[in-house]
Structure 1
């Protein structure tokens, strides 16, 4: 198996942030699926393919064979999980079920799933335990950890749980944070000549500045307004949110980030095409992933797979270990 050239599928693809991360380490996408048509427009403009639609209506057998399944599955409520009788029915009615049925049918060598940090705590931890146990019941060795985009080079405080699995007993550790000197600052990503249309009305600007916790905070900063109305400045953006108000985050309490700045906050390349209006890019970046963080995970997965297959032999379609490959213990890995 040549892990310099592998195939993957991109489920719940959004605008392709996860795809970019895995393409950067040699992956080739052989199938994509996305429900939102506006996101599909952006995806098609950048990858020259229109994703298939609703994954719940796509038979698993019709998907091309692939090596790695990727999916930033939606943060839908999992209230149905654990309330149905019988282990086999626990995930019915959730979009995780579609990941499960595809894994069961296609048996890829690995997967990577992404979700909100709160998945770990949902329903007292029961939801995550059910998901992990279902993945393990399919025969996968599962690793999970909450990672922050800030640690991987983008100026955004965005915590997400990453769940990685391998059909063989591959030893895996999550990527270490990059050196502070290698991380982009707001000065690196903010534009200098910005159109007046991005600037907020004087009334909003004055109100924000009056409520700013540290009125002498050095520029540039991005502030966000929390539920209580407090305005807090930071040398980075808070997590981009798809459904937040237009003025949820402001640059120096003066203006909204531009479309390009929103993409930069998520680590998208400068070449990424913008083909939809501001409100839709705001939603799409809020629903997307921090590309450099995904790339770091992809690099670790490929490194681990290369090490495993370099010390194994194929027997009746399965890999049998000849010598062990031991990775350093990672105390932060979540266990059910």
Structure 2
């Protein structure tokens, strides 16, 4: 009996110590994440920021950087921030004057990489940087400031055979400035959103804090259909005229250049808000129509109320369609951030895997 009581007492003491350690580590993790400082480059309407908010990361936005003044205004409305935080033209940023930050997001332009663009790559035939070549401006800033994490997104074509050499050079450059980079092509439909959108994501972790354990999120079962996001009402200007019906041809639907009442919509483009060349159509009791601004943003993971706020500020459905088509699916970013920011606990400047604590 004495032996049993003694053993039980030791087990209770050990359990209390483990519980105390867990509480301490959880507190340290909370404090670590609460202080996350973010620099957002090529911000668009702020998909990265929306994802951080959705998973309850209490972060501080150091600055955002958006060249297009109308997009900057939309960003400020959606995220309720002062446009004075906008750095504007990335090529004019003095990296020496930037405040420190822990995370840099940079969904750099895809126009010169995309299958729908001219595919010049990061540099043209004369060696001049293209719009997609603004990637190097982001690297310039990262090299000077050396934040803990870098997170980028671009079209799948970036990792195709055509751009294989350039992509390898990008990874080499990130390695040279001090980062281990993990990359993978992810499709939005595999992360809870009925939207077929393949994009490549690059997660770069500074070498001195990387434990080599980062893995991209596993696919999840899709439980929603596009119709779950439909509005019950759409104004008349969303409905197709006779001359617009050509975009609903059997050929376009078969080739998936367009979709009609699909459970999973095809990839949104910047033309989605237009009647002239949209991608996803809905047939209802009133006829054939394009998606509303609310529907488009919702199928990129944004809240529908953002569309209402933008419309109330004078933005058109065409503008909002372009914003949405240019953005990143928020749900995918949420899953990546959960992996990146919750896989480890910071203790005395080291990252410990949760399962290895006890």
TM range, normalised to the smaller chain?
0.7 to 0.9
Distance 1:201-1:113 versus aligned 2 partners, 3 A rule:
same
Aligned match for 1:180, one of 222, 226, 229: 222
Question: Shift of the alpha carbon at 1:247?
Answer: 3.0
Other-structure match for 1:22: 52
Tell me the TM-score normalized by structure 2: 0.75
Alpha-carbon distance, 1:40 to partner: 0.8
SS at 1:3 equivalent: helix
CA contact (8 A) 1:241 1:283 kept: yes
Task: Pick one of 245, 251, 254 that aligns with 2:282.
Answer: 251
CA RMSD of aligned residues (A): 3.1
1:251: how far off? 1.5
Q: Tell me the CA shift for residue 269 of structure 1.
A: 1.3
Q: Which residue of 1 aligns with 2:74?
A: 42
Alignment: residue pair count: 300
* Correspondence for 1:239 among 267, 280, 293: 267
Structure 1 residue 279, shift from structure 2 partner:
1.3
**Structure 1 equivalent of residue 176 of structure 2:** 137
Change (3 A) 1:80 1:33: closer
Tell me the residue number matched to 1:218.
Answer: none
Partner secondary structure for residue 111 of structure 1 = strand
CA distance in 2, matches of 1:325, 1:83: 49
CA contact (8 A) 2:156 2:185 kept: yes
Deviation at 1:54, TM superposition (A): 0.5
Q: CA deviation at 1:235?
A: 1.4
Paired residues of 1:81 and 1:127 also in contact (CA < 8 A) = no
Q: 1:127 to 1:190 in 2, by over 3 A?
A: same
Give the distance between the partners of 1:270 and 1:237, measured in 2 at CA: 17
The answer (yes or no) to whether the contact 2:192–2:220 under 8 Å persists in 1 is yes
User: Once superposed, which parts of structure 1, at least 4 consecutive aligned residues long, lie more than 4 Å away?
Assistant: 80-85, 89-93, 209-214, 323-327
Q: Which residue in the other structure is 1:13 paired with?
A: 43
Rounded to whole Å, the distance in 2 between the matches of 1:179 and 1:249 is 23
SS class of match (1:70)? strand
Q: Structure 2: which 5+ runs fail to align?
A: 1-27, 113-119
Aligned residue for 2:65?
Answer: 33
Q: Report the secondary structure of 1:225's partner residue.
A: coil
Larger radius of gyration: 2
Pair 1:204–1:29, CA change in 2 (3 A):
same
- Of the three residues 199, 210, 215, the one matched with 1:169 is 210
CA distance 1:284–1:324, change in 2 (3 Å):
closer
Per-residue deviation at 1:154?
1.3
More helix by share: 2
Matched, 1:201 2:241: yes
